[in-house]
Structure 1
Amino acid sequence: MTTPDHQSPSPRPSGTETRDRIYRSPAAVAGGVLMLALALWLGIDAAVNGAGRTPWLALAVLLLLVPAVAAYTLRPAVFAGEDRLRIRNPLRVIVLPWGQVASLRAGYSNEVFAESGTKYQLWAIPVSLRARKRAARQEARRAAEASGKDGRRRGRGPGSTDGLVAGAVGGLGGGAAVGDGRPVRAQSDKIMDELRQMHEARGKAATAQGEVSVRWAYEIIAPAAAGAVLLAVVLAVG
């Protein structure tokens, strides 16, 4: 599940700024923290107490593993601002002004398409098919309850009190699934709906125009490559 940290995307007064909406996966962050803690504990222990080539092997594995784990768990995030969408994927950072966004699509993965046709995946907003199925079941159950209530109301005469009693029971608990009438959606699909709304609201704004920029995450790639080289050298030397 992905959770947002956001403020309203309403037009900002002149001279003021609003914070970006930030989307990331709490499950990925929690898993990354646990994996990094375990890797650092074992790696540091091996580097300090190991003998022979063990400390060098531990150092090489840490250099390779820590950036890789951080890249795919802690790093991914989506920043949705008034004028642009910034996507921080494991190995790249993509900045798309809203005017350059052609569409946002939710399938087996969540993706954004630029006007040029280039597709970028939103790593920080993973799709959960289980959550979608659960939302579909809740929506079907809610629709069935709503149609059942409508049928009961139509079947009562104007002088009957059964409809009032049924309505009171529904208000106490039976109608909780109906909620405010909005369709039940999985969390990732709700987030994609929010991003589509921002795109529709800001896509034609003068400040939301510009070029798409893509930057490689050399702060991740460089130490991981160094760790891979060191590991290969240690294994080759024996």
Structure 2
Amino acid sequence: MSDTPARANTAPTYHDKVYRSGPGLVGGCFLLVLLLWLTIDAMVNGSGSAPALAASVLVLGAPLIAAFSLWPQVRAGQDRLLVRNPFRTIKLRWDGVESLVSTLSVELRAGGRKFVIWALPVSLRQRKRASKRAMIDAGDRGTVSNTPRPGLFGAPRSLPQSAAEAMADRAVTELNERVAQYREELPADAGEPELSVTWNWWLIAPMLAGAVATIAALVAG
């Protein structure tokens, strides 16, 4: 047995980065609380068909709100990209990304198919503010001097490029950089990338059951 201490593993590791919509999370939590308050109150204090209708609306509404606000996520892993949409989950290796663009929505093309990424909503207001910040930073507002405006302690103020982009555009830039980096490191015998698209039945099933129950309660009531 050797007395030489084991060499520590100093290989670089890549930590997953998660992208989500902050306003979507806040809005989803608010809507869930409001839904619970209204439906539980109707089930406890309602009369006639109101409790049954409230219960069916809760079964329909809770997964529907969660699917469009709390569930959507983009996870950038070391080897793979994971996209959680309200009804489908997309998994693929980085080199399987054909294109990832941010126009009126963030669109992913892979395997000859197009997917809209719900976790990265495009805000035209954010884009306008980011464009204005970039113009100010570059001194292109038609002022007499193009000298950058001074910041704290008199130092010239210059925003980093990432700060002059809207949230969705910045995320797309980072993800495309990861795609390019992975393709450079990819060995020649890596094989063809696989695209996996699965339906989120654990969200879809209660929505369908709640919709059927709501219709039945309305007809019977």
State the distance in 1 between where 2:173 and 2:128 align: 18
State the distance in 2 between where 1:210 and 1:182 align: 30
Name stretches of at least 5 consecutive residues in structure 1 with no aligned partner. Answer: 1-11, 151-165
Query: Equivalences for 1:23-102 in 2 at 5 Å?
Result: 23-102=19-98
Residue of 19, 23, 29 corresponding to 2:15 = 19
For residues 38-85 of structure 1, the C-alpha deviation after alignment (integer angstroms, 9 at most, x for no partner) is 100111111122111111000110011111111001010001111111
> Taking structure 1 as reference, are residues 184 and 208 closer, same or farther at Cα in structure 2, changes over 3 Å only?
farther
Question: What displacement does 1:120 show?
Answer: 1.0
Name stretches of at least 5 consecutive residues in structure 2 with no aligned partner. Answer: 1-9
Instruction: Detail structure 1 runs of 4+ shifted over 6 Å in the superposition.
Output: none
State the distance in 1 between where 2:151 and 2:89 align: 50
Match of 1:192 in 2: 172
Counterpart check, 1:123 vs 2:121: no
Counterpart check, 1:172 vs 2:172: no
State the distance in 2 between where 1:50 and 1:182 align: 53
Counterpart check, 1:231 vs 2:214: yes
- SS at the partner of 1:203? helix
Question: What displacement does 1:210 show?
Answer: 2.9
Determine what percentage of the aligned residue pairs are the same residue: 39
Question: What displacement does 1:181 show?
Answer: 6.9
Match of 2:194 in 1: 211
Instruction: Calculate the TM-score normalised by the size of structure 2.
Output: 0.84
What is the Cα-based RMSD across aligned positions, in Å?
2.7
For residues 115-136 of structure 1, the C-alpha deviation after alignment (integer angstroms, 9 at most, x for no partner) is x321111110111111111111
> Taking structure 1 as reference, are residues 196 and 182 closer, same or farther at Cα in structure 2, changes over 3 Å only?
closer
Counterpart check, 1:148 vs 2:129: no
> Taking structure 1 as reference, are residues 231 and 99 closer, same or farther at Cα in structure 2, changes over 3 Å only?
same
